[in-house]
Structure 1
Amino acid sequence: MIKTVFFALVEQNMGLPDADTAVILITDKHEPDVMIADGFHSVMHLCVADIVQPDIDNAKAIIDFAATRNCSHLLVYCRCFGISSAVVKVLVERFGIAFLMKTEATAARKTDFLIHNARFQRLLESAHEESFATNRG
């Protein structure tokens, strides 16, 4: 079960691979490929049509991935700060996962959850509620 979540923008160094860390890489289909080093627990690469407006299927994929990982840490790696902070916000609030400030750049943005993509946050919350209802019933 994931205990901590942190994020980094694609421009930042994500650090050395760690077998106890899963990665959600979110990129726009128009971006050049982002290389992820081998050695992480698991990697989900979500290539979205619009990095600013991911859809409900993207939200469901993220929730399902996070809910099924058997590792301690989750890194959300994205070029769009609004999307990555929405993912982290929902995981912290809905899953009870602790937010880890991995870098000084991330620490400076801790209060920037106010800048998250509110539309995507709602989609993630809906996906979480749907997943929870399905697993209960």
Structure 2
Amino acid sequence: MKIGEHIPTFSLEDNKGNWFNSDEFLHKKYFVLFFYPMDFTPTCTKEVCEFRDLNADFTELDAIVVGINGQSTSSHEKFYNKHQLNFPLLSDKGGKLSKLLGIKKKFGLLTPRETFVFNKNGFLIEHIVSNLANTHIEKAIDAIKKDQEN
């Protein structure tokens, strides 16, 4: 997916068993979709907890943060509860959304660490690919602030 392209419509089940539909937030919120390899691994836990700790900053910018990987909703719920998360974790079983966004799985199995930031109109304004968790958060916040200035 390239900068300026429109977010594909998607619906995925979250850690609570609810369906998250992208169209519900279109024209209302910025989207920060961050893909991470696995629940409960050290680097992924660090990234998810950093998003949790800075979620109020995203809320102030009128953005919704969503964590995504291919693991089950029950794994996500355990991870969510253990780390007292404050945003949904979506299960992309089968990698449908990953494929729509052009994400290529590592070793054919793991979801890579990538973040997509979409503006309220649903257009991609930032795509971050890095193994450094805090880079995703900083760049996502900067992209939203820059978009709001225009």
TM-score by length of 1: 0.33
TM-score by length of 2: 0.31
